[in-house]
Amino acid sequence: MPALGADMDEGTVLEWLVKPGDEVHKGDIIAVIDTAKSAIDVESFFTGTVERLVTDVGQTVPVGTVLATITESRAQPAAPPAEPKGPERPTAPQPPGPPAGLEVPERPRPATLRKREKKIVAAEQAPPAVTISPLIRKRAHELGVDLAKLRGSGRGGAVTRADVERAAAERQREVALKPPSPAVSRIRVTPLARRVAAELGVDLAGVTGTGPGGAVSEADVRRAAALVPEAAPAPEAAQRPAAAAAARSGVERALSMRQAIGRLMARSKREIPHYYVSNTVDMTRSLDWLHERNRELEVSERLVPAALLLKAAALAARKIPDLNGYWLDDQFSPADAVHLGLVISLRGGGLLTPAIHDAADLRLAELMSRMRDLVIRARAGRLRGSELTDATITVTNLGDQGVESVFGVIYPPQVALAGFGKVTERPVAVGGLIGVRPVVVTTLAADHRASDAMTGARYLTEISDLLQRPEEL
């Protein structure tokens, strides 16, 4: 049971999306776990074959309990023994790791593979060990590329971003070329189809896929379910345990949500010496630019001011790294990417704070669509585990609720939380004259153990500067 956020002590298995014998890849959704706050899609930390499902549907177990055993595949020996990523765990988010590069030792390979590869290695004169930067490692992780099997084309055999992306593309091609033979190869199933299959109790191995590359689609699953209505009286029966487990009533959910928030926020205020700074930012340029841009666009492509604010918050966090990371083991460990946690209030009460990965690198349109996607999935209980554990700094935007400013409570073990209030028109003195301009109050709550108010001030100044140059965001 992974810790899906610092506020989680236990979880309930709502649904298994795999069964013993299934092949899984790192990052595949394998189970749905119910936490105090929400149902969450949990990804596999390994590539391999599911050996056994240890925890049954409906069982509630503490964080750290074994949920299932997965045998890592031989052909891919390098999938590192990834610990579930959770800020609470000692091994978790990017340990203060080596600053420049990392030596990857050669890993044992099956004999047959090794022989073949030896020839290639000899022919290409690859060095014995390669240097891989943290960024590249991260990219490889995202794309599910096995670094140990990569030969770098960079200087001194260094693995470059291009190498990783090429390998990912090749792997995809291989998968696409494979004939759909469920017995041998992994059945390709869309996530939605998998979910529906689990709901209807349909065995995916018996479903013929009609999607691209033989992938099983939701329609295929429904068709298969309709074919065996009499023979399998199971739909209801199969559904029952999941339904029972899911039957956390609205009242219970509201209570457990409040308790989870309460525990985490109490811990934050108990342990973290918060300091606060605030600033008032002129939004004239940003809003004019936004308005001009939106004028030419379809509704679905329009940006809201929050997108600019989030992008500025992410870029500023990259510029001021002392606020972007975790306080662990009595010291600050900076994160090597900016994963922007976004406070999303649920319509029924309570909140979730999923992360927008690599927010500082996203174009505004992309950031906007991620934001919309996260809000929809957060409210539907469809967030992924990694989204709830990866945030390196959090932003709360209360502008839509009409308040002028918000001073937040930091999410441990993060060290900073930025807040945005409502964009309002105010009399502002500019160049000795008073005019009416749209302004927004930006705030920062930060951990005094990790930084001083001077750092916080620089962060808010940076945000203000960025918002004066919206075209560069």
Partner 1 sequence: MTPDQAQHAIEEALAQVAPDVDIADLTPDTDLRDGLGLDSLDFLRFVEILSERSGKQIAEDDYPHLATPASAAKFLAGR
Binding site for partner 1 (CB under 8 A): 291, 294-295, 299-300, 302, 304-306, 347-348, 371-372, 375, 399-402
What is the smallest separation between the CB atom of 464 and partner 1, expressed in angstroms?
Answer: 21
What is the smallest separation between the CB atom of 126 and partner 1, expressed in angstroms?
Answer: 49
Cβ nearer to partner 1, comparing 214 with 399 = 399
Cβ nearer to partner 1, comparing 112 with 300 = 300
Picking from 277, 297, 289, 200, the residue whose alpha carbon sits closest to that of residue 458 is: 277
What is the smallest separation between the CB atom of 196 and partner 1, expressed in angstroms?
Answer: 21
What is the smallest separation between the CB atom of 400 and partner 1, expressed in angstroms?
Answer: 4
Bridging pattern class, strands 393-397 and 340-342: parallel
Cβ nearer to partner 1, comparing 305 with 470 = 305
Picking from 358, 316, 337, the residue whose alpha carbon sits closest to that of residue 133 is: 337
Place of tokens 């379809």: 298
What is the smallest separation between the CB atom of 425 and partner 1, expressed in angstroms?
Answer: 15
What is the smallest separation between the CB atom of 207 and partner 1, expressed in angstroms?
Answer: 31
Cβ nearer to partner 1, comparing 270 with 347 = 347
Peptide bond before 412: cis, by omega within 30 degrees of 0?
A: no
Residues in the chain: 473
Bridging pattern class, strands 416-420 and 393-397: parallel
Cβ nearer to partner 1, comparing 206 with 348 = 348
Answer whether 458's CB lies under 8 Å from 442's CB: no
Cβ nearer to partner 1, comparing 104 with 365 = 365
